[in-house]
């Protein structure tokens, strides 16, 4: 299979305008004849469904929550980037493009990133027009703050709840289209398979999570805006319902999966406090504007932070990276936090934590200014930990937060299956090996409001779409497959719960494919994941029935997909013999511990093609098991070229 990104030729600043001009259009009167299925109603999905509805298409939008307002997009706290240059501090579209490519450690497609930077300025105007209450300066102008990996202030924010406010804006636009009859919502409905007919994505199979009913939905194109797969690690900052099922089932139908090992560790999360936890909590990166990160100079120092004098504190990010200080990119901040904890200088009972201290900012600016900027975040931290961050430093530690990998898409956001589009975190498109803070919201809205409505129309206008109905053999086969999988999960009647298996899997992936990886560790993980997956299919306990609300059954299907994805993540990490961004192979690092890329051999997008599952007889003998399956995945490579931002060793010093 040859990957064709379909990037137009010409000057990068003109590519998107040129592409839009060359696209074929659908007559406004004809748009209502086409049905578009949008799966997911977070920022990417809601903005896409609302815009497509307003354009006149017949849209069906699906979400597994009871309302689009509960999408995980609300958890984004700190802000959204845009190259408005309101501070006249040297920002520009090109600088945002440059920072994003560099921040992603030169593993993203230049054309897509430049388009994202171009669209950023339009996103802010769109959201202000919707009434999103961005923070403003005293004179009424929109306020900005800084985020990691940038030396300008380009992040627009609404206190510590930017994602929620942006989602409410998209939700209002979506509900207007629902009211107008152009969008139909299907809440509490989960996509469980993709239907491909004559090589084109023509529908999906869903399960109603309240009644258990399995249904087919026919469309002329399918859009997946279902978010990322961070919950493969069990403990993450993602909402508990976030999962990989939609994109993974599409992958098994022929959509290539790109860069699965590129996962992001967020440096400012509340540390793990015990084995009982089911998720972790994010503390916004915006806190690093005014908070200073430090640990004791001496290993094993267990004094209270107030008792440690200034001379005995190590502000290690400010020491190592004087140019960026506490605002280095997330992968750099996370690795440094792990390093000082590995030295025995971590804080808290577990020693897995560092301090985020606001005492200097409070003394300089006053409590009220800090409360105005971060009040809801401070309140959330105090409720969870019982500690007052106005009085004592926060304790933070890295945790899984975002996934840069996802379905491979071309410049037009279409996967390798014609008619199947992936937007937002569900695709791999813009962030390379590491996403800069405040860029997830930017990408989701750029894809949904400003890219997909053009590119999907171009596909519709150019493609001959035959008449299809839910009685087609492909739909019936997909429905039978979903029903059979459901029956199989309920029929195992083993000893261990789905959560027990998920926790074991998550620990395996975190230990061997988390903040740092090694070849030997990844080999071990692959063996143990396959063994655990075999045990899952023999010994998982899924109570209840398929005919009503059954959250254990929901989780069982999702964790089954996580097992397979975890194996692919480790395969991808094993074959990428370099360190870049969030993918840190301990064998490949500079003398001072920074990621060492191999641009000669590894400047590519890894795109994996699913070929099925095979028996592993040698492994079956070693593990003394009757059956061990391993994925049969074929690697394809999309070469990356850099004409405008030339690869160099990243330096934030």
SS3 state of residue 155: strand
Q: Which residue has the tokens 């509960």?
A: 70
CB atoms within 10 A of CB 531: 18
Rounded distance between C-alpha atoms, residue 149 and residue 103, angstroms: 6
Kindly report the CA angle at 447 between 445 and 453, in degrees rounded to 5? 110
Q: How far apart are the first and last CA of the chain?
A: 42
**434 alpha-carbon distance from chain centroid:** 11
Rounded distance between C-alpha atoms, residue 102 and residue 156, angstroms: 21
From the candidates 145, 159, 330, 517, which is the catalytic residue? Answer: 330
CB atoms within 10 A of CB 407: 29
* DSSP one-letter code for 606: E
Q: Which residue has the tokens 């040859």?
A: 2
Sequence-distant (6+) residues with CB within 8 A of 321 are 328, 332, 652, 653
Q: Which residue has the tokens 């040297």?
A: 90
Rounded distance between C-alpha atoms, residue 286 and residue 380, angstroms: 15
Rounded distance between C-alpha atoms, residue 627 and residue 590, angstroms: 42
CA dist list (Å): 159 to 77, 135, 378, 387: 8, 7, 11, 21
* Whether 257 contacts 568, CB under 8 Å: yes
SS3 state of residue 92: coil
Residue 330 designated active-site: yes
Rounded distance between C-alpha atoms, residue 51 and residue 497, angstroms: 42
Task: Give burial (CB, 10 Å; 0-12/13-18/19+) of 172.
Answer: middle
CA dist list (Å): 234 to 39, 275, 461, 528, 564: 23, 12, 42, 16, 14
**199 alpha-carbon distance from chain centroid:** 28
* DSSP one-letter code for 427: B
Rounded distance between C-alpha atoms, residue 570 and residue 525, angstroms: 7
CB crowding 187-226: b at 16 or more within 10 Å, else e: bbbbbbbbbbbeebbbbbbbbbbeebebbbbbbbbbbbbb
Half-sphere exposure of 368 (CA within 13 A, CB side): 0
Residues designated as active site: 330
């Amino acid at each position: 299979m040859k990957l064709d990104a379909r990037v137009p030729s010409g000057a990068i600043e003109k590519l998107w305008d040129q592409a839009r001009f060359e696209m074929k259009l659908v007559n406004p009167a004809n748009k209502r004849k086409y049905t578009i299925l949008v799966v997911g109603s977070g920022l990417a999905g809601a903005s896409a469904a609302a815009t497509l509805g307003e354009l006149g298409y017949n849209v069906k939008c699906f979400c597994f929550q009871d309302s689009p307002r509960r999408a995980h997009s609300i958890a984004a706290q700190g802000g959204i980037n845009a190259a408005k240059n309101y501070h006249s501090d040297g920002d520009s579209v090109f600088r945002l493009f440059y920072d994003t490519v560099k921040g992603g450690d030169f593993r993203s497609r230049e054309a897509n990133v430049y388009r994202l930077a171009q669209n950023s300025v339009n996103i802010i105007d769109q959201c202000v027009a919707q009434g999103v209450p961005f923070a403003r300066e005293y004179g009424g102008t929109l306020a900005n703050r800084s985020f990691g990996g940038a030396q300008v202030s380009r992040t627009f924010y609404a206190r510590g709840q930017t994602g929620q406010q942006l989602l409410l804006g998209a939700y209002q636009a979506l509900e207007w289209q629902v009211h107008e009859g152009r969008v139909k919502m299907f809440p509490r409905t989960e996509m469980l398979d993709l239907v491909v007919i004559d090589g084109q994505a023509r529908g999906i199979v869903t399960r109603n999570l309240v009644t258990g009913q399995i249904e087919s939905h026919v469309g002329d194109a399918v859009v997946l805006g279902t978010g990322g797969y961070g919950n493969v690690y069990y403990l993450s900052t993602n909402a508990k319902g976030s999962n990989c099922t939609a994109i993974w089932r599409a992958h098994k139908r022929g959509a290539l999966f790109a860069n699965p090992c590129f996962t992001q560790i967020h440096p400012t999360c509340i540390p793990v406090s015990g084995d009982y936890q089911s998720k972790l909590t994010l503390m916004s990166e915006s806190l690093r504007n005014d908070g200073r990160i430090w640990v004791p100079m001496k290993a094993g120092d267990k004094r209270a932070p107030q008792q440690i004098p200034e001379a005995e504190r190590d502000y290690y990010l400010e020491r190592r990276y004087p140019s960026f200080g506490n605002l280095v990119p997330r992968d750099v901040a996370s690795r440094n936090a792990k390093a000082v904890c590995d030295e025995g200088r971590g804080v808290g009972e577990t020693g897995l934590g560092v301090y985020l201290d606001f005492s200097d900012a409070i003394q300089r600016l006053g409590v009220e200014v800090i409360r105005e900027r971060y009040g809801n975040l401070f309140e959330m931290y105090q409720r969870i930990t019982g500690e007052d961050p106005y009085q004592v430093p926060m304790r933070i530690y890295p945790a899984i937060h975002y996934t840069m990998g996802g379905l491979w898409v071309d410049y037009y956001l279409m996967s390798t299956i014609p008619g199947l589009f992936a937007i937002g975190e569900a695709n791999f498109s813009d962030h390379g090996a590491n996403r800069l803070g405040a860029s997830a919201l930017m990408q989701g809205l750029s894809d949904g409001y400003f890219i997909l409505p053009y590119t999907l129309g171009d596909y519709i206008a150019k493609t001959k779409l035959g008449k299809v109905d839910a009685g087609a053999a492909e739909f019936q086969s997909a429905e039978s497959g979903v029903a059979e999988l459901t029956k199989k999960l309920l029929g195992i009647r083993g000893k261990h719960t789905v959560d027990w298996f998920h926790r074991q899997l998550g620990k395996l992936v975190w230990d061997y494919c988390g903040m740092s990886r090694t070849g030997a560790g990844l080999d071990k993980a692959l063996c143990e994941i396959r063994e655990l997956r075999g045990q899952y299919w023999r010994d998982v306990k899924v109570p209840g029935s398929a005919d009503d609300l059954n959250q254990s059954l929901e989780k069982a299907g999702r964790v089954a997909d996580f097992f397979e994805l975890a194996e692919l993540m480790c395969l991808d990490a094993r074959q990428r013999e370099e360190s870049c961004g969030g993918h840190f192979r301990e064998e490949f690092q500079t003398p001072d511990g920074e990621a060492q890329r191999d641009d000669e051999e590894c400047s590519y997008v890894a795109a994996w093609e699913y070929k099925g599952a095979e028996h592993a007889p040698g492994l079956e003998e070693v593990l003394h098991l009757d059956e061990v399956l391993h994925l049969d995945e074929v690697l394809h490579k999309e070469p990356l070229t850099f004409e405008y931002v030339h690869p160099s060793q990243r330096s934030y010093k």
